[in-house]
A and B are shown apart, each in its own frame.
Chain A
């Protein structure tokens, strides 16, 4: 399904965010990527749909080499990958409906996009998806009128509307309170099984990762240092992922304690 091979990213500043990371995701599994801040988690996610350009290595989705594409073919490939953002990535001044329908932007003409004149199937799917994420009736509200949890669900609905082959999720819960975080995680795993697509989640809270993920990957300093089931994540592997002092503190944080909202992703 998704094959990442020896993916590296060095930023112009000389910061080596990713060092030859290889991994695979398949079926409808939920894969959690854990690691301290600055370990390269966000860079990894963004390199997969090439919002960030990897320095070397390949990404192959369903037989298509994403890293070899450019222009309209890259955009077509991006339609297959739904992305969900830490800061939601909603357009505040647009309505919920416009935000959700924007998941179809890769499929409509410029003129249709301008007129907000999306095909009937897309509109129906948008209504249905809003209902599914528990936001039925919110379509005419402006995105900035919603609460954090609601905003994240709009972000999820937008990603679903792409009818993607995979979901890329970047720190979905770090701006949310513990309870809302669980709702969002439940929704994501539910989508994975219902749609039969894999979900790749960057996540800070180990507790949530252990509870909801089928498999966990640990990144430390841009390197993949752990891979296994939640049960296999023992103290030894935790030490491996969170080596330094600052990170040790993070490993203690449980899902009952929300992470700092101001936490900056590694990109």
Chain B
């Protein structure tokens, strides 16, 4: 190091020091910083963030909030009893449909994803199959469930079938990806032991692999169900069934107090789902 030779040269120490950088050199670092900054500035310009637009937003938020409160759950408490009105009924049917979609999509999605997971695990299948598996996983992951849903609506029409299909399509991107990682970490010695008994590939998978990954499969299924519940509450916004459809039409009709009620119901469902899923996964492991 140059500083050392300086000091050895006669007790003279350098008077400058600059921090070493994680990038190849300072210019690369400068380049990365500048391009991040440039894109950021461009973004502000592109989106036309201006003070008056933000001011308009404050006014808009004020009006929206005042028309949202109090939330209208469709329940009235007059005369001591609770009477259920149209909105409450809409929320109930929407929620039920969302939950139904989430269950069906999880079961079908997992059934589809398990073989894909094997395909996407390097140590389970021949190379070409592995590549196909990885591509399926990547494509499934890259598309937001709503993008898939909007296409599914075009293909099979409005309603829960489209939403369910969309969630099924999105499942391998999560489920098969994580399960494949587990399959790749599997204990080889156990498999070799079974193979040495003369077992076929299917038998090895059945007796060697399945017992090792079953708890993980159950855990991931519960986790995926949690994710699907979230998706099922919003997927109706593009017409693919569930409470989201109700939410969207409430916005279209400017019934913002009803909208808020639906959003609160969705938040409650998501939170309960998260809690139940976390508890169940702890129990399984």
Contact = CB atoms under 8 A, between A and B. Distances in A.
Contacts of B7: 127-128, 131, 136
A137 B14 contact: no
A126 B1 contact: no
A246 interface: no
Contact of B4 (A120, A123, A137): A137
A143 to B, nearest CB: 13
Contact of B16 (A123, A136, A140): A123
B17 A126 contact: yes
Interface string B197-218: 0000000000000000000000
Interface string B221-253: 000000000000000000000000000000000
B13 A139 contact: no
Interface in B87-133: none
Interface in B1-60: 1, 3-4, 7, 13-20
A101 B4 CA distance: 18
Nearest to B11: A128
B3 A124 contact: no
Where chain B touches its partner, the secondary structure class is loop
B22 to A, nearest CB: 11
Interface in A210-227: none
B93 to A, nearest CB: 55
Interface size of B as a range: 10 to 19
Interface string A86-128: 0000000001011001000000000000001010110111111
Interface string A192-205: 00000000000000
Nearest to B3: A127
B15 A137 contact: no
A98 B16 CA distance: 12
Contact of A123 (B1, B17, B20): B17
A177 B14 CA distance: 33
Contact of B14 (A95, A101, A116, A127): A127
Given A136-B4, A137-B1, A137-B4, A127 B18 contact: no
A115 to B, nearest CB: 10
A118 B16 CA distance: 8
Counting chain A CB atoms within 10 Å of each CB, the highest count among B3, B13, B17, B19 belongs to: B17
Given A120-B15, A127-B14, A140 B20 contact: yes
Contacts of A97: 17, 19
Contacts of B4: 136-137
B18 A124 contact: no
Nearest to A124: B13
Given A116-B17, A121-B15, A124-B15, 7 more contacts: A116-B19, A123-B14, A123-B17, A131-B7, A136-B3, A140-B1, A140-B20
5 contacts: A120-B15, A125-B13, A131-B13, A136-B4, A137-B1
Interface of B: 1, 3-4, 7, 13-20
7 smallest A-B Cβ distances: which pairs?
A: A120-B15, A127-B13, A124-B13, A140-B20, A137-B4, A128-B13, A124-B15
